[in-house]
Amino acid sequence: MKRVVVTGIGAVTPLGNSAEEFWKNAVNGMPGAAPITRFNAEKFKTRFACEVKNFDPLNWLDKAEVRKNDLFAQFALASVSEAFVNAKVDLEKINKYRVGVIWGSGNGGMQTFEDQVSEFALGDGTPRFSPYFIPKMIVNIASGVISIKYGLKGMNYTTISACATGNTALMDAFNYIRWGKVDMVVSGGSEAPVTSASIGGFGAMKALSTNNDNFQTASRPFDVSRDGFVMGEGSGAIILESYEHAMERGAPILAELAGAAMTADAYHLSATHPEGEGAARAIILALEDSGLQPTDIQYINTHSTSTPLGDLSEVKAMETVFGSTPNHLSISGTKSMTGHLLGAAGAIEAILCIEAIRHGEVPPTINTKELDPAIPVGFDIVLGKSKKKPIKAAMSNAFGFGGHNSTVIFREFVA
């Protein structure tokens, strides 16, 4: 099968609106949480989130595109625009029938849905829905508008596997390229879930942190006092290509996507398996797919959302695969900075893995002061400050409601 390489990345995140800014602020341990501005959250149990700051869609899109697209699709288009520039793609010189788009989102146009239904409910019963309602709201529309904007005519669809979505989009793109079905895939994920229904719904499940008095430090993966995740928003785009196609066009190669796998817990609607059984199998299968051994991985960007049960489930999965004293391995939970971007989480965390390999630096877990005593003392969880370290291979985990487990592995590119 063909080798698959990364040639471009783009990001719109709570830590910055470019991949470069995102990486710089992540390794510097910048907190992304702030009081919610997208709606009046005064009566909500959780009144803060990790919103994207200073995002002006007109920096990437024209007025007609902004009007026709929900925020989650605007985020997607902005990050893809940057990724294409970074990948040095000349759209006039590629075979667009051999370029696909496989994108991820969990919620899609949630704000559009809320706005339209609320306007109808508050009216006199006369249906006055916008003609853009459905195309702005449906989850697959981000992949569609990316394809339309750039004239890409390969496969085009959206993966939905809750918070595992970003990784499953990358896994599908990886497979299509290495099977020779296409030469290039635009992949990643986007999400705009800081809405009243989303915050209210996750809050009702008691999934969100309610630490309103200390919102900047509320996301604290692995900490004994963690009380739930912090909602985030944004987008991550990754240009994947076959090695041959990238070399033929003289593309910059940032890293290689080496392996990926997905499993199911078949256990619970929203909780992960308490022993991390499905997560461990996903890690093992991804390692087998990559041809790497557990000792070959130097960095794991964990899913670790800062929920009491979820973090320990992942710890148990890692312990199953890597043992309780994996001296070669460093771990960080970057949702401590970005919050949890749901379907886009895997995409932006994949970017952090790629950049960690390129720069030889592990981004930190911030806010965590006292590790849960159930975590093995031999785990190197990078706390507070980033850690300089040569990284040949990095792994990213992502898990989602419904029992979805996904793992992707990147490694340093060697011709």
Residues labelled as active-site residues = 163, 303, 340
Question: At how many degrees (to 10) do helices 277-290 and 308-322 cross?
Answer: 40
Nearest-10 crossing angle of helices 196-204, 110-121: 100
Ramachandran angles phi, psi of 392, nearest 5°: -90, -30
Q: How far apart are CA 331 and CA 317, in angstroms?
A: 13
Cα angle 324-328-332, degrees, rounded to a multiple of 5:
75
**What is the SS3 string spanning the chain?**
CCCEEEEEEEEEECCECCHHHHHHHHHCCCCCCEECCCCCCCCCCCCEEECCCCCCHHHCCCHHHHHHCCHHHHHHHHHHHHHHHHCCCCCCCCCHHHEEEEEECCCCCHHHHHHHHHHHHCCCCCCCCCCCHHHHHCCCHHHHHHHHHHCCCCCEEEECECECHHHHHHHHHHHHHHCCCCCEEEEEEEECCCCHHHHHHHHHCCCECCCHHHHHHCCCCCECCCCCECEECEEEEEEEEEHHHHHHCCCCCCEEEEEEEEEECCCCCCCCCCCCHHHHHHHHHHHHHHCCCHHHCCEEECCCCCCHHHHHHHHHHHHHHHCCCCCCCEEECCHHHHCECHHHHHHHHHHHHHHHHHHCEECCECCCCCECCCCCCCCEECECCCEECCCCEEEEEEEECCCEEEEEEEECCCC
